[in-house]
Structure 1
Amino acid sequence: MSRSVERGRRGAPVKLSDVAKRVGVSPITISRALRNPEIVSADLREVILRTVEEMGYIPNLAARALAGRHNGIVGVITPALQQYGFAGLMIGIEDCFRDTEFTVQYASTLHHAEGEAGLLKSFLTQKPAGVIIAGAESYRDLLPLIESATCPIAHITDLSQEPQKLVVGLDHYAAGAEPTRFLLSRGYKRIGFVGRGGDVRSRRRLEGYEAAMRQAGLFQEDLVIGGDAPNRIGLGRELFSRLLQSVPDVDAVFAQSDELAFGVLIECKARGIRVPEDFGICGFNDLEFSTFTEPTLTTVHIPRYEIGYRVADLLLHAVRDETRGKDRVDCGFSIVPRGSTR
């Protein structure tokens, strides 16, 4: 490492003019190249990027926001950054923005709906290129902010929710009804619903489950059991144990997540309940481990990567003022029959 680079990294911050002087171009050329790399030649772009890396230059996003329309950041607000299921969405979002001029930043509400508006306000004050709201609980406080925002805002939602533009999601009511009908078609009758209904998507799936069971003349309130803790394997065991106490003849469950379903499967093995002969289990999300349990887990596949990529792509087109196709995209779901159902 040269002494000049070392001083730049350890002493006074490296300025845009320092990089420009080293490369031999104007500061505005450096700024444009960092903001829109495609506007300079490939050779010059390579020199600029290498020099930026060598000198340890960090762009001033606040200055960029003052000088232009936005600071080059896309904010993502989600209630579930800590959950396995969000990883697929995140990879899709990241892949879409990977070779662009935009940087992605995440913020999590941890399922506290009252924090959604505050996080959106925080992002908007920084002049972002755009924002993705991935799974808002309520749009009551968000809609006024969205309507007054100067940047595009895209959404991952249950398709019954309010946003009409830049929306990607699925019908969670159908994603609760169809798996229940699937279990009924396999000969199970006393089908429990395991998992909390704390967010709007979970509640919609519960409504779909209840409708399918009522249509079959088999609904019973005792068959629904939830918990306040996050969806984890241990909670699945606990909830299933409580369900057996209240409904001993339950013969299947539709679980709100694969983690809960795995917990039910473990408790079945501990109690000597045969799966799938005497008891059926259907999970939700189709996480990777569901193909490695014994027996493997029947589950509901959600195209999380596609949802993440599609919502990012909608936002990217909107930020660039480019024409796009549909403003609302239904990515759907599918039932994946495996070893835990007959």
Structure 2
Amino acid sequence: MKKAVERGRNGKRGAHVTLSDVAKKVGVSPITISRALRNPQIVSEDLREVILRTVEQMGYIPNLAARALAGRHNGIVGVLTPALHQYGFTGLMVGIEDRFRDTELTVQYSNTLRHAEGEAGLLKSFLTQKPAGVIIAGAESYRDLLPLIERAACPIAHITDLSQEPQTLVVGLDHYTAGAEPTRFLLSRGYNRIAFFGRGADVRSRRRIEGYEAVMRDAGRFDPDLIIGGEAASRTGLGRELFSRLLQRVPDVDAVFAQSDELALGVLIECKERGIRVPEDLGICGFNDLEFSAFIEPSLTTVHIPRYDIGYRVADMLLRAVRDEPADEDKADLGFTIIPRGSTR
């Protein structure tokens, strides 16, 4: 047992290696090691390389709880998201992480899976860890979140539909308009019986449904049977299923506005199976402008959301707040762009 203890203290990688062990090996004080790990730029390049190499060799793991007790925060930014598992979130993640790369902060994610009742509990969990800050990347409801945000000791930034409550450290877009404008685009291309594919599972898609419905009503073409949603293991499979169901109840449908490119791809596959010509007999518009959309045949008309820019901008806002630097802006609308391609006239 004694030999095992000695090996853990002197040679074993991992949890038994302390900051003092690293400092002794390098020949500097523990506070120098601590400062170098938090802010590498404050020590010389040669010393930084020695410290980082020694940390790697010895397997030292910083104690974030101790760091939080000793300083303002633990060096982590918590990101609360409803859809970590979906392709569309990837761009946001890359933007967030690119902005925090080469800073003193690291990122930790928590996925709500769109369960509004769990959002406050997950935010509390982040806040108890004394984070540098939190990004709420798409909350369902701010009713239970606002009291926590108001009492939080750290800055909290938001990716939202711009109709939602937060007014500072906010980046997003108006999803009502993102539902209305593509519908107007399809009408302008000569389509009249335009279906909306999406269940309104979250506040953003519900706002898009409202925009779609308002435009269709103004055009005198609204029909509730044209709004359809459902569940399936595959988003592309769901698109095929929804289109098949839609044809049974609205056989004269001539366009589909799908709330994801995966759903739109399913509609396109089903059209090919049935011999329905796209875009002549049916127009298809997706949402998110995923990479495959430009390369399928016909290529997919879609709505481009600048997800990378949204992620980068919200991370930049939060970083400035963490560092007590003046903000360029409190609220940013990054909008969207309709990308016309081969699936519409």
Question: Is this contact kept in 2: 1:61–1:71, CA < 8 A?
Answer: yes
Residue 43 (structure 1) shift? 2.1
Match of 1:325 in 2: 328
Does the C-alpha gap of structure 1 residues 11 and 205 become closer, same or farther in structure 2, counting only changes over 3 Å? closer
CA shift digits 1:266-316 (9 cap, x unpaired): 111111100001110000000001112111100000000000000000000
Paired amino acid for 1:171: D
Query: Equivalent of 1:111, from 83, 91, 114?
Result: 114
Change (3 A) 1:220 1:336: same
- Which of 71, 80, 83 aligns to 1:68? It is 71
Aligned amino acid, residue 133 of structure 2 = G
Specify the alignment match of 2:309 in structure 1.
Answer: 306
Which amino acid in structure 1 is aligned with residue 160 of structure 2? T
- Candidates 247, 264, 271, aligned match of 2:267: 264
Partner of residue 37, structure 2: 34
- Contact 1:5/1:54 (<8 A) preserved: no
1:339 is aligned to 342
Instruction: Identify the range of structure 1 (296-305 vs 7-16) with the bigger mean alpha-carbon deviation.
Output: 7-16
Given that 1:5 and 1:55 are in contact with CA atoms closer than 8 Å, whether structure 2 keeps it comes out as no
Please give the secondary structure, in 1, of the residue aligned with 2:303. Answer: strand
- Whole-angstrom CA distance in 2 between matches of 1:5 and 1:283: 57
Structure 1: 5+ residue stretches without partners: none
Equivalent of residue 288 in structure 1, options 287, 291, 299: 291
TM-score, normalised to structure 2, is 0.96
CA-CA distance at 1:22 after TM superposition = 1.1
Correspondence for 1:163 among 162, 166, 186: 166
Does structure 2 conserve the Cα–Cα contact (< 8 Å) formed by 1:164 and 1:327? yes
TM-score, normalized by length of structure 1?
Answer: 0.97
Structure-1 residue corresponding to 2:216? 213
Q: CA RMSD in A?
A: 1.6
Which sections of structure 2, spanning at least 5 residues, go unmatched?
Answer: 1-5
Q: Which amino acid aligns with 1:39?
A: I
Deviation at 1:45?
A: 1.6
Identity value in percent = 83
Partner of 2:194: 191
User: Structure 2 vs 1, CA of residues 86 and 6 (structure 1 numbering), >3 Å: closer, same or farther?
Assistant: farther
Amino acid at match of 2:172: G
SS at match of 2:299: coil
- 1:21 and 2:24 matched: yes
Q: Does the alignment pair 1:52 with 2:55?
A: yes
d(CA) in 2 for partners of 1:237, 1:251: 16
Whether contact under 8 Å (1:195, 1:231) holds in the other structure is: no
**Pairing 1:137–2:137 present:** no
Query: Which of 216, 231, 246 in structure 1 is aligned with 2:249?
Result: 246
Q: Residues 292 and 7 (structure 1 numbering): CA distance in 2 closer, same or farther, change over 3 Å? A: farther
SS in 1 for 2:251: coil
Letter in 2 for 1:125: T
1:8 offset after TM fit, Å? 3.6
| Alpha-carbon distance in 1 for matches of 2:22, 2:13 | 16
Deviation at 1:9, TM superposition (A): 3.3
Count of matched residue pairs: 340
How many Å apart are 1:182 and its aligned residue? 0.4
Partner of 1:83: 86
Alpha-carbon shift at residue 48 of structure 1 (Å): 1.1
In structure 1, C-alpha distance between the alignment counterparts of 2:289 and 2:195, rounded to whole Å: 19
